[in-house]
Amino acid sequence: MSVSERIWRAPGRCYLRPFAGAVGVSARGKSRRLQRALCDFGAEHSFAQSNRRLREHYGFELNASAVREATLGHAVQVSERLGKHYAESFRTLPRKGPAYVVAETDGSFLCTVEPGRRRKGPRPREWKEIRLSAARAQGTLEAHYAAGFHSVAKTGRRWGHCARDAGWALESRIHVVADGAEWIALQSREVFGDQADVLVDFYHVSQYLAAAAAVCRPKSPRSWLHTQQKRLRRGKPLRVLAAMEPFAEAEDDGDDPPVRAALRYLRHRLESLDYPGAISRDLPIGSGLIESGHKHVLQARLKKAGSAWLPANADALAQLRVLRANQQWDAYWEDQRAA
């Protein structure tokens, strides 16, 4: 629908628009329902594709810049909303809750460009690490996420909020599954203290063993790998070490030969290889929670082919994706309507 509008000039003002003032609309304005539709599409698809989705579902289109403006505008508001939540203390815990809370965190890299005017040729690109944290109560599918280009300490605090939102209580145990990174082990102790039990992701251990298998059993590496995996599941990591030690390479045999790398990796993490205990308590031994989270919370939107982001925009859109993943999307728009 189009409306022909008469614009009146007035002293001291550029113009008067009586019709727009009477019906409560503005040029290039967007209703709250339209803003939500734009954000729905903009949070899932590229801004250009979102415009095509708008035409497909609603029969009209704007332009990619309109979708971008609405999506990033609300992403900034979501960032402020989540920032207030994270400013609260996560250490105020109820006495009772789930027996176990599964907590995981890790980083992935996004392609970014620095802000500024574009000169001749493309702007230099840099891969920056964005960290994602996740937690869920044992036996549930609902996970709680937090993300951002944050320091290790700030990531740890947001990780604590994820665990609290998942039901972390004074009597709960925190089951941490990680790839063995030192910063994750440090933050698990800092945030969860004695309540945390850290387990090295079984897949990462298996990667080291798979590389060593070609040296330890070159004729049947797959069989050798399966044997060591069974030993780990049965709680016998020392037998795995004993199976590799005779094949350890010399100190001057390359920078990081596979057997020596596997031995070092396992020896430094022997206290975090209690796979039988996790299996008996029906707890995961793999980091599928955080790996799948990276794919559907962050990478599905922020790591599209050929995309590069201003860091501030990528962080804001990551918060928008986190809000959706945490099932708070409807509540946010209800608050917008009430405002």
Structure-block tokens of residue 201: 């992701």
Give the pLDDT of residue 106: 97
Backbone dihedral angles phi then psi of residue 134, each to the nearest 5 degrees: -150, 150
* Residue 257 burial (CB count, 10 A): 19
Reported as a single tens digit per residue, the pLDDT across 1-50 is 667 777 777 676 667 777 666 766 666 678 899 999 999 999 999 999 99
| Alpha helix positions (H), the chain | 18-23, 32-42, 47-58, 64-87, 152-165, 182-192, 202-216, 221-233, 237-244, 258-267, 275-280, 288-293, 300-302, 311-325, 329-338
Backbone dihedral angles phi then psi of residue 148, each to the nearest 5 degrees: 155, 165
Ordered by start, the domain boundaries in the chain are 8-84+329-338, 92-201+287-308, 202-285
Give the pLDDT of residue 23: 65
Give the pLDDT of residue 330: 95
Give the pLDDT of residue 190: 96
Closest CA relative to residue 188, chosen from 147, 214, 157: 157
What residues contact 159, with CB distance under 8 A and at least 6 apart?
Answer: 103, 105, 133, 135, 146, 187, 191
Task: Give the rounded distance of the alpha carbon of 106 from its chain centre.
Answer: 8
Instruction: Map tokens 């290790």 to a residue.
Output: 152
* Residue 72 burial (CB count, 10 A): 19
* Separation between Cα atoms, residue 62 and residue 64, nearest integer Å: 7
pTM: 0.89
CATH code of domain 92-201+287-308: 3.30.420
Closest CA relative to residue 274, chosen from 202, 335, 173, 166: 202
Closest CA relative to residue 177, chosen from 300, 4, 293, 45: 293
Reported as a single tens digit per residue, the pLDDT across 56-73 is 999 988 889 999 999 999
Reported as a single tens digit per residue, the pLDDT across 299-315 is 999 999 889 999 999 99
